[in-house]
């Protein structure tokens, strides 16, 4: 089946198709079959992402068809998801919204995308692109992918920021790992953690307010309420002038708004429209993946993210996505209430540990009591574990985000090429 | 300034140095200090009364150490001084101003104590190395004294009312502070190596606390100095900026700073003074084991500095989405800014940035390289993102030239960037950059493909009035001529990025460079024209566009019912094309001499066709055949000849004055050649036959034109002036 050959040149396939032109009517069976397969694979792959989570957490949303899907995964190993399948069954399944989970999510995205493109183009007479419903859906899809590109960029920068935080956490770790632990080192750790938490406030949370800037300068007045609690212990903060990494996106850009526009007019096709369905499926996946990334990784302006994206509940292939979407949406609502940093599991934990380490530092007395020592050791170990995960995972995750970016660009170009060929690009000479 | 600045930790920490020196409610350390001071100089009683562990210390070891330390005498004045200071301190309580006033004796003290501490450190080090089994000695009082002095100094510097900035410090003071910090650090290391015993642990903790405060102060000062960069506007209106932004820091205490601005484009934006301060502070942080902090502070500050300077260069961040929606005029402007910024970054910023990191972290080449790489990487990726966004915009013919500028900037700058970074670093950036270059290259190629398609699709059915140059010809030729000014670049683009075009052509266009190249020998033989060597891809492309244009013009010429006019149209357009090609070196060289010769001969052919078509008929009226019968002129025939000549000429004149030949040279060539053809023939015809008519009425009736008249009328041809045209200017 040509649909599985996602490595081969897309253009070659078109040209082959063109030479052995098959009338649309005879295509229909093949098309339906490809479409069924696509739906099943999408369901399977996202079910894996959901199940991984379900097995590790108590509140598992088990819906009937997800079960079938996960058992069908084994049968579907001849699909492009073969590599992906090996990823999704590691010894210990990744926590929902953890770095490893996102890496799986992006893998899933890439697989689905490849299959979608095959279904969209190779089984199809290119001239369908200029007829309804594709004539309307394709430009819409391309528009959406442009917005996804911006989100990829923002997320790339967001990962930079997380890496910056990781380095600050590592300073704290280095300090706290000294034995015997003296007050100088404790203060050193606290200073680093305060910088970290301040940066989380300024670079992430306060972005939720409308008055964000391209960069943070001299923003100190309101600082200190949250970080470290009382007013008396700000000493370690950075001399009354906090600066951090600026957002490397346009000033007025808002991740939240992008997601909102992306998910607007995302209407499921009515029953018989088999041509429209793959586009709709891919649109849903793109929006979901981007939405999840934005929710997890610090991005400029993320207000009201929870409500910006809903999937219709009646589609069987979308059940796992809906399950994930509900879970993440809940998490997001919690986040907005608590005002914590992004949903990335490691970040949430880092923020928590940082807070309690700051608290520890505030009450530190030398020499440390043994009881406290054990408590500290546990926290230090957790921070170390988080840093380790970040160290190992953030780089590859960032690369994957870039890969998604380039994939979108490439696919867009390929679709545009097809469009050019149909319309013969007869733009008049502008004389 | 932060009012809490001088409070290192909340009151809950009993060992906090701040509370030790500034409050009375903590007797523990203060008493200890007093004890040391009182016992200073006496070798026997180094006990710390409040620390029970001290009692466990074997006396003989204590003695050893102190006898070692003893050679350095403790002069009496100093002995007297110590309690004095402590009294002062105690009396001063929270009031740091008093402490500051006692600065001079402080520094004298510090010098002495420092020497003692140095001595002590080396003793401790040699002891611990020499004999590990011996129990560690006690810490002498001057060491405590030393820690106290340093701490007092930091408290002073960090005072909330009157904080001391690094730049305000005299060279001497700052040097001694850094030395003291280093000494603290070695001290702490030495003692920790010496023993992990509880008593020592307390002391190490104490030293560590002071060291941390010192480092924290250094870090903050490093930070505020490194953030104190001055980025000059590109227009170099910098002097004003320089003075205005630093009135506070470079005040009277440091006059040389102002007189040594060193503004000659040194990008990182620090004066020599600041740079040397930065160097000292960073060195102190590195030596004190605070290199991670140093890196973070440096990285954040420099990243913001780079960001700011990008802005100053007019480079604004746009989302891809925005760029898509931007008007081309605005985008053109942004591309201009981008190119300027990118060039500036490569030539000035990155080298400056590298110099800075190398200067500050000269002992840590790897760290310096890493910092430099991540900083530049951030900037480059941001810049590339814009290029990416541009490449993703809708293709349009008019964009070609800005795309070319952008492409050239990338092509020229990337090697510079490559040379700045180590082979293996920045692979990601390099990959992205070459991908984007590829995308822009492919976009340009597809613009050319679009041009082909547009030419093919241009099938207007209305002929241009008067056979004038068709707008398609004008547009295409001007476009090509302009494109050829970028010949080198386009050659490269077509060589490097044409694979897409080839794949396209397999299905879409009928053109395939490879097959064309393969067929070239044959093609040339068949056409038996220029024996071209293999054409370059861009040459092939231009030739192809030219051929398409020719074909299109040719088909447009068929729209004229009048063959002569058709020839004029072909001449006009052919001439225009040839003039454009000859008028510009690049395109001329690209098309080659033989192409031009071929075109010229084609033009001559059209010229001949035209002459034959229009004037051949007229000349046949002047032919002597049939005029003579038995050596006599047949008058009715002659009359007929004159009549038809006059009618024909009138008609030609009437029609062809409305035709357009806007190329002056071509116009005059045509007129001259027509005159040359017609006038001598008419003159001789007239000379031979005009006397046949009776002078007067008959002559006037048939000999309507004199040769001179004909010449005048011929000179009126092709100026497009007739009624149907109105006035048409080239």
Q: What is the pLDDT of residues B636-670, one digit of tens each?
A: 888 888 999 999 999 999 999 999 998 999 999 99
Q: Which residue has the higher pLDDT, B463 or A420?
A: B463
Give the pTM. 0.76
Say what the pLDDT of residue B77 is: 41
Q: Is B533's pLDDT higher than 50?
A: yes
* DSSP letter assigned to residue B633: E
The residue with tokens 């001559």 is B604
Residue pLDDT, tens place only, B92-117: 344 444 444 444 445 557 777 788 87
Q: Which residue of A has its CA nearest to B215?
A: A188
Least confident of A162-166, B231-235, B300-304: B231-235
Residue-level pLDDT, tens digit, chain A, 431 residues: 344 444 444 434 333 344 444 444 445 677 788 888 889 999 999 998 987 555 444 333 334 344 444 444 433 334 443 344 444 444 567 889 999 999 999 999 999 999 999 888 876 778 888 888 888 899 999 999 999 999 999 999 999 999 999 999 999 999 999 877 888 999 999 999 999 998 888 766 544 443 333 333 333 333 333 333 333 333 333 333 455 566 667 888 898 899 999 988 788 887 667 788 899 999 999 999 999 999 999 888 888 777 767 777 778 888 999 999 989 988 888 887 777 678 999 999 999 999 999 999 999 888 788 888 899 999 999 999 999 999 999 999 999 999 999 999 999 988 988 887 776 645 677 77
Neighbours of A296 (CB within 10 A): 29
Q: What is the mean pLDDT of chain B?
A: 75
Candidates A156, A170, A243; nearest CB to B300: A243
Three-state SS sequence of B392-452: CCCCCHHHHHHHHHHHHHHHHHHHHHHHHCCCCCCHHHHHHHHHHHHHHHHHHHHHHHHHH
pLDDT tens across A65-114, in order?
Answer: 444 444 444 333 344 433 444 444 445 678 899 999 999 999 999 999 99
- Residue of B321, B373, B429, B470 for testing the chain A interface, max A β-carbons within 10 Å: B321
Closest CB to A146 among B15, B392, B435: B392
Kindly give, in sequence order, each residue whose CB lies less than 8 Å from that of residue B56, ignoring residues fewer than 6 positions away. Answer: B199
Give the distance from residue A182's alpha carbon to the nearest chain B alpha carbon, in angstroms.
Answer: 5
Nearest to B360 by CA among B308, B295, B420, B304: B295
Q: Is the model's pLDDT at B601 over the cut of 90?
A: yes
Give the separation between CA A143 and CA A266, rounded to whole angstroms.
12
For the cut 50, the answer to whether the pLDDT of residue B254 exceeds it is no
A414 touches B at CB < 8 Å = no
Residue B133 — pLDDT band, cuts 50, 70, 90?
low
B463 pLDDT above the threshold of 60: yes
pLDDT score at A123: 64
Residue B366, burial from CB neighbour count under 10 angstroms (0-12, 13-18, 19+): exposed
First to last CA, chain A: 48
**Which of A318-327, B38-47, B218-227, B442-451 shows the lowest per-residue confidence on average (mean pLDDT)?**
B38-47
How many Cβ atoms sit within 10 Å of the Cβ of residue A316?
14
Shortest distance, CA B196 to any CA of chain A (angstroms): 8
- Half-sphere exposure of residue A202: CA atoms within 13 angstroms, side-chain side: 27
Does the pLDDT at position B64 exceed 60?
no
Residue B464 confidence (pLDDT) above 80: yes
Give pLDDT, residue A4.
Answer: 40
Reported as a single tens digit per residue, the pLDDT across B671-703 is: 999 999 999 999 999 888 888 888 888 888 888
* Fold of the domain built from segment(s) B621-714: Monooxygenase (1.20.1280)
Q: What is the mean pLDDT of residues B48-58?
A: 40
Average pLDDT over residues B217-238: 76
Mean pLDDT, range B716-730, rounded to an integer: 59
pLDDT digits (tens, 9 = 90+) for B136-194: 566 777 777 888 888 888 888 887 777 788 877 787 788 888 888 888 888 888 777 76
Tell me the pLDDT band of B722, cut-offs 50, 70 and 90: low
In the stretch 336-395 of chain A, residues with CB closer than 8 A to chain B read 362-367
CA distance A107 to chain B (A): 19
pLDDT for residue B9: 41
Q: Check pLDDT > 80 for residue B239.
A: no
Gap between the Cα atoms of B462 and B471, Å rounded: 12
Which residues does chain A have within 8 Å of residue B320's beta carbon, measured at their own beta carbons?
146, 149-150, 153
Question: In the prediction, which pLDDT does A271 show?
Answer: 66
Residue A308 has what pLDDT?
67
CA distance A172 to A387: 11
Contact B121, B65 (CB under 8 A): no
Which residues in chain A have their CB less than 8 angstroms from residue B503's CB?
A: 9, 11-12, 15
Which residues are bridge partners to A337 per DSSP?
none
Measured CA to CA, the distance from residue A397 to residue A166 in angstroms comes to 15
Chain A neighbors of B507, CB-CB under 8 A: 11, 14-15, 18, 421
Residues A358, B79: Cα–Cα separation, whole Å: 42
Q: Which residues of A touch B223 (CB under 8 A)?
A: 238-239, 241
- Name the residue in chain A with its Cα closest to that of B436: A406
Place of tokens 């820091």: B249
Mean pLDDT of B412-429: 83
Could you please report the per-residue DSSP string of A285-331?
A: HHHHHHHHHHHHS--S--TTGGGG----TT-STTHHHHHHHHHHHHH
Contact A429 B202 (CB under 8 A): no
Interface test with B, best of A17, A182, A402 (most B CBs within 10 A): A182
- Tell me chain B's radius of gyration from C-alpha atoms: 47
Query: How is residue B304 written in tokens?
Result: 């913001």
Q: Identify from A239, A247, A397 which residue to disrupt to test chain B contact, counting B C-beta atoms within 10 A and taking the largest count.
A: A239
pLDDT of B574 reads 95
From the candidates A199, A372, A429, A430, which should be mutated to test the interface with B, based on the most B CB atoms within 10 A? A429
Q: Give the residue extent of every domain in chain B.
A: 17-226, 263-273+289-446, 468-610, 621-714
- Phi/psi for B245 (5° steps) reads -90, -5
> Is there a cis peptide before residue A367, judged by omega within 30 degrees of 0?
yes
| Residue spans per domain, chain A | 124-423
Identify which of A235, A238, A258 has the shortest CB distance to residue B4: A235
Question: Largest alpha-carbon pair distance within chain A?
Answer: 85
- C-beta of residue A341 within 8 angstroms of C-beta of residue A200: yes
Average pLDDT over residues B303-309: 88
């Amino acid at each position: 089946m040509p649909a599985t050959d996602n490595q081969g040149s897309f253009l070659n396939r078109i040209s082959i198709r063109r030479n052995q032109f098959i009338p649309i009517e005879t295509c229909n069976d093949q098309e339906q079959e490809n479409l069924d397969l696509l739906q099943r694979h999408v369901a399977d792959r996202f079910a894996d992402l959901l199940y991984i989570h379900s097995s590790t957490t108590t509140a598992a949303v088990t819906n009937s068809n997800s079960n079938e899907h996960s058992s069908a995964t084994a049968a579907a190993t001849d699909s492009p998801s073969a590599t992906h399948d090996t990823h999704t069954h590691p010894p210990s399944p990744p926590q929902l919204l953890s770095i490893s989970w996102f890496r799986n999510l992006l893998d899933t995205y890439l697989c689905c995308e490849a299959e979608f493109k095959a279904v969209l183009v190779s089984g199809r007479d290119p001239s369908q692109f200029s007829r309804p419903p594709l004539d309307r859906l394709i430009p819409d899809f391309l528009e959406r992918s442009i917005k996804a590109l911006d989100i990829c960029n923002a997320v790339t920068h967001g990962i930079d920021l997380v890496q910056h935080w990781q380095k600050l956490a590592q300073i704290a770790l280095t300090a706290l790992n000294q034995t015997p632990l003296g007050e100088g080192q404790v203060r050193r750790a606290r200073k680093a953690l305060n910088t970290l938490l301040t940066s989380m406030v300024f670079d992430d949370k306060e972005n939720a307010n409308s008055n964000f800037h391209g960069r943070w300068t001299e923003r100190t007045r309101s600082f200190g309420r949250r970080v470290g609690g009382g007013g008396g212990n700000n000493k370690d903060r950075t001399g009354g002038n906090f600066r951090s990494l600026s957002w490397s996106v346009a000033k007025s850009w808002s991740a939240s708004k992008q997601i909102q526009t992306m998910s607007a007019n995302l209407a499921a096709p009515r029953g018989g429209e088999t041509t429209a369905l793959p586009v709709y499926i891919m649109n849903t996946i793109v929006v979901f993946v981007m939405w999840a990334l934005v929710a997890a990784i610090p991005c400029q302006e993320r207000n009201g993210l929870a409500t910006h994206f809903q999937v219709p509940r009646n589609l069987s292939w979308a059940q796992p996505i809906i399950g994930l979407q509900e879970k993440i949406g809940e998490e997001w609502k919690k986040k907005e209430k608590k005002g914590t940093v992004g949903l990335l599991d490691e970040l949430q934990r880092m923020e928590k540990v940082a807070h309690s380490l700051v608290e520890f530092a505030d009450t530190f007395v030398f020499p440390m009591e043994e009881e406290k020592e054990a408590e500290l050791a546990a926290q230090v170990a957790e921070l170390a574990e988080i840093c380790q995960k970040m160290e190992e995972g953030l780089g590859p995750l960032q690369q994957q985000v870039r890969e998604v970016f380039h994939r979108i660009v490439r696919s867009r170009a390929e679709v545009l090429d097809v469009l050019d060929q149909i319309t013969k690009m007869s733009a008049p000479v502008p004389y | 300034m932060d009012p809490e600045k001088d409070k290192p930790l909340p009151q809950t920490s009993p060992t906090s140095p701040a509370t030790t020196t500034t409050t009375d409610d903590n007797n523990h350390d203060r008493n200890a200090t007093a004890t040391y001071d009182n016992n200073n100089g006496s070798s026997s009683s180094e006990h710390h009364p409040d620390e029970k562990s001290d009692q466990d210390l074997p006396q003989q070891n204590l003695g050893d150490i102190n006898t070692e330390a003893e050679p350095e005498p403790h002069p009496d004045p100093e002995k007297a001084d110590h309690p004095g200071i402590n009294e002062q301190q105690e009396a001063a309580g929270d009031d740091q101003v008093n402490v500051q006033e006692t600065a001079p004796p402080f520094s004298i003290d510090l010098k002495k104590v420092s020497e003692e501490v140095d001595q002590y450190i080396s003793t401790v080090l040699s002891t611990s190395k020499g004999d590990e089994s011996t129990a560690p000695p006690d810490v002498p009082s001057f060491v405590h004294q030393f820690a106290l002095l340093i701490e007092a100094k930091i408290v002073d510097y960090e005072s909330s009312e009157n904080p001391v900035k690094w730049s305000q410090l005299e060279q001497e003071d700052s040097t001694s502070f850094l030395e003291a910090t280093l000494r603290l650090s070695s001290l702490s290391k030495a003692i920790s190596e010496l023993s992990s015993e509880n008593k020592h642990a307390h002391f190490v903790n104490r030293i560590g606390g002071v060291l941390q405060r010192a480092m924290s102060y250094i870090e903050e000062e490093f930070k505020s100095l490194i953030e104190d960069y001055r980025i000059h506007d590109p227009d170099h209106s910098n002097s004003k900026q320089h003075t205005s932004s630093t009135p506070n820091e470079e005040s009277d205490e440091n006059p040389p700073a102002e007189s040594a601005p060193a503004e000659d484009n040194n990008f990182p934006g620090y004066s020599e003074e600041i740079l040397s301060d930065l160097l000292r502070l960073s060195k102190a942080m590195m030596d004190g084991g605070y290199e991670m902090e140093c890196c973070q502070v440096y990285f954040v500050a420099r990243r913001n500095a780079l960001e700011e300077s990008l802005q100053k260069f007019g480079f604004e961040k746009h989302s891809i989405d925005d760029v898509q929606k931007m008007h081309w005029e605005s985008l053109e402007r942004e591309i201009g800014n981008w190119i300027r910024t990118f060039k500036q970054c490569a030539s000035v910023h990155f080298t400056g940035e590298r110099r800075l990191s190398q200067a500050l972290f000269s002992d840590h080449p790897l760290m310096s390289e890493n910092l430099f790489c991540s900083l530049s990487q951030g900037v480059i990726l941001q810049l590339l993102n814009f290029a990416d966004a541009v490449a993703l915009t809708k293709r349009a013919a008019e964009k070609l030239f800005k795309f070319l500028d952008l492409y050239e900037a990338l092509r020229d700058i990337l090697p510079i960037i490559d040379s700045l970074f180590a082979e293996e670093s920045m692979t990601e950036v390099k990959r992205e950059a070459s991908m984007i270059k590829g995308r822009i290259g492919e976009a340009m190629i597809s613009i050319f493909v679009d041009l082909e398609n547009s030419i093919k699709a241009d099938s207007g059915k209305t002929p241009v009035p008067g056979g004038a140059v068709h707008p398609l010809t004008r547009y295409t030729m001007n476009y090509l001529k302009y494109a050829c000014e970028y010949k080198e670049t386009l050659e490269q683009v077509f060589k490097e990025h044409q694979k897409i075009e080839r794949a396209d052509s397999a299905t879409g266009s009928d053109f395939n460079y490879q097959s064309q190249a393969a067929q070239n020998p044959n093609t040339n033989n068949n056409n038996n024209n220029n024996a071209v060597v293999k054409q370059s891809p861009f040459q092939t492309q231009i030739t192809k566009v030219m051929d398409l244009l020719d074909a299109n013009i040719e088909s447009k010429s068929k729209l004229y019912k009048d063959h002569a006019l058709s020839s004029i149209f072909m001449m006009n357009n052919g001439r225009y094309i040839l003039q454009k090609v000859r008028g510009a070196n690049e395109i001329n060289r690209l098309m080659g001499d033989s192409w031009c010769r071929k075109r010229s001969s084609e033009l001559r052919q059209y010229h001949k066709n035209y002459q034959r078509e229009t004037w051949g008929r007229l000349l046949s009226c002047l032919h002597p055949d049939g005029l003579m019968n038995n050596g006599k002129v047949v008058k009715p025939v002659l009359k007929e000849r004159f009549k038809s000549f006059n009618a024909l000429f009138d008609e030609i004149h009437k029609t062809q004055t409305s035709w357009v030949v806007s190329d002056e040279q071509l116009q005059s060539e045509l007129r001259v050649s027509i005159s040359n053809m017609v006038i001598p023939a008419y003159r001789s015809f007239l000379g031979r036959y005009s006397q046949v008519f009776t002078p007067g009425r008959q002559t006037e009736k048939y000999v309507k034109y004199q040769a001179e008249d004909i010449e005048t009328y011929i000179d009126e041809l092709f100026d497009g002036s007739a009624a149907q045209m109105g006035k048409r200017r080239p």
